[in-house]
Amino acid sequence: MRVPPVDKHFEQARSEGSDAARQLLSQEFASHARQVVKTSSNDTASQDKLKKDLLEKYGVERTVEDGLARYRLPGSADGKVLFETKAGPTELIQSREKLDSMVQGKLHQLYEQYHVTFGKEGEDAVRPRILSKNKAGQLVDGPMAHSRVPRLSELMGVEAALYSSQPSQFTDAKNHGLKFYFLKDPMFGHRTNTAALYASDLRSKMAVFFEPDLQPYRPITAEDSVKRQEDVKSSIESLASHEIAHNGERNMATWNLEKFKPTAEKLGWTLSSDSRYWLIKGREEELYRLTGDGMSSGKCWIRCDIKGGALDEQGKAVADVKDAPRFTNREVREKALIKPPTSYFTNPDEMLADSLMLYRVGEEGRKILLKSGSQLFDAVREFDQAEIDLRFGKTATGLSKKVRQEDGKLVDNQ
């Protein structure tokens, strides 16, 4: 885990206002904690409720053995022990206060070190535009989505992403950083396949949102994912890194299609002649584009010409896109001139964000990225360095002042 220890921030947070920290947990949880210490240790229902509360509020597990209560991070592959204390009548209350201090300390540290902030408990986060139930095709204001206080495990995952992603977290030249919201409610009023996304918040500022289905057992870092033999993309670090990369793309003005086109070409994409579609290039000089109408079936790609017009099996134009043969993500990925490193490549922005994530999260991520070829790896490294240079500049002789090490850390270029 490439993150510094949190212990040095405990006392700082306590001295800066432990009263505020203690308000992070609901009165219901505090009342339950007091009740548990009065009940028998064999009260399975109470113990199960306590275990669930600790997981939901902090991403922490409590075990008791030989009179010692140990508080661990289940999202850590090695079951890292945060602290241990003698089990007893006041242990639960004191441990809760310590966990509150750890959360507050981590929030303070991340603000001081990376200039990022987090949504507060119950804060209005975003009111998304959703499809009207009454008027087909019309967008209306959806229900307000509210944030919650992030779990300690989630903060550690975001910290790992920030460590290897800076300066992508900055939103301007004045050291203002991103805001992260861990949502209590699904952003669009219902569950989706999206675990996190980069979008505008209620302040009209770009932010990172994590959907409420984020489970406390999810690996914290990419390294934890590898140790647990899970997909390197499954960690909190990787999710955060992908969304932070989108902010870096914005810093590099990828919204300007003509400016982004040279980078997209290096990734194996091109713009349609009318600039309406991003087209991915095939190994046999063919082109493919994504279609919205095929998303539900998984057959979401068609072969097309440079204008984006649909083609049949022989490469001849068809009048209606519905008559064009369909291809799955897997099929297009295998046909691509430059193979996307993951299955998420709806456009070059998403392919680049996932590639940057792999480049930044460590050795295993870079190995996966290299499997797609040196051209993609070099293009990602070049884009990453260009953003670093944009932030920190170059010397009079044209050398970058800062470079990224293999572990993601930014260092002076000596």
Q: State the Cα–Cα distance between residues 51 and 62, nearest whole angstrom.
A: 7
Residue 219: CB atoms within 10 A of its CB come to 25
Residue 284: phi, psi to the nearest 5? -105, 30
Tokens of 88: 């007893």
Spatial neighbors of 225 by CB under 8 A, at least 6 apart, are 77, 219, 231, 232, 233, 234, 235, 238
**Long-range contact set of residues 37-40: C-beta below 8 Å, sequence gap at least 24:** 37/88, 37/89, 37/90, 37/91, 37/92, 37/93
Instruction: Indicate the burial class of 256 (C-beta count within 10 angstroms; 0-12, 13-18, 19 or more).
Output: exposed
- Cα dihedral 52/54/60/61 (nearest 10): -60
Tokens of 252: 């590099």
Q: What is residue 354's predicted lDDT score, i.e. its pLDDT? A: 97
Spatial neighbors of 42 by CB under 8 A, at least 6 apart, are none
Residue 343: CB atoms within 10 A of its CB come to 11
Tokens of 246: 């989108």
The strands making up 81-86's β-sheet, listed across from edge to edge, are: 61-65, 68-72, 81-86
Q: What is residue 334's predicted lDDT score, i.e. its pLDDT? A: 96
Q: What is residue 10's predicted lDDT score, i.e. its pLDDT? A: 32
Q: State the Cα–Cα distance between residues 296 and 59, nearest whole angstrom.
A: 34
Closest to 187 (Cα-Cα) out of 168, 165, 167, 211? 211
Q: State the Cα–Cα distance between residues 219 and 233, nearest whole angstrom.
A: 10
Whole-structure pTM value? 0.87
**Which residue do the tokens 């030989």 mark?**
66
Q: What is residue 357's predicted lDDT score, i.e. its pLDDT? A: 98
Q: What is residue 25's predicted lDDT score, i.e. its pLDDT? A: 40
Digit-by-digit pLDDT tens for the chain (414 residues) are 333 333 333 334 333 333 443 444 444 444 444 444 444 444 667 767 877 888 889 999 999 999 999 999 999 998 889 999 999 878 888 999 999 999 999 999 999 999 999 999 999 999 887 777 777 777 888 889 999 999 999 999 999 999 999 999 999 988 999 999 999 988 876 677 788 999 999 999 999 999 988 888 899 999 999 999 999 999 999 999 999 999 999 999 998 998 999 999 999 999 999 999 999 999 999 999 998 766 556 779 999 999 999 999 999 999 888 889 999 999 999 999 999 999 999 999 999 999 999 999 999 999 999 999 999 999 999 999 999 999 999 999 999 999 999 989 999 998
Return left, alpha or beta for 36; rule: phi > 0 is left, psi -120 to 50 is alpha, else beta: alpha
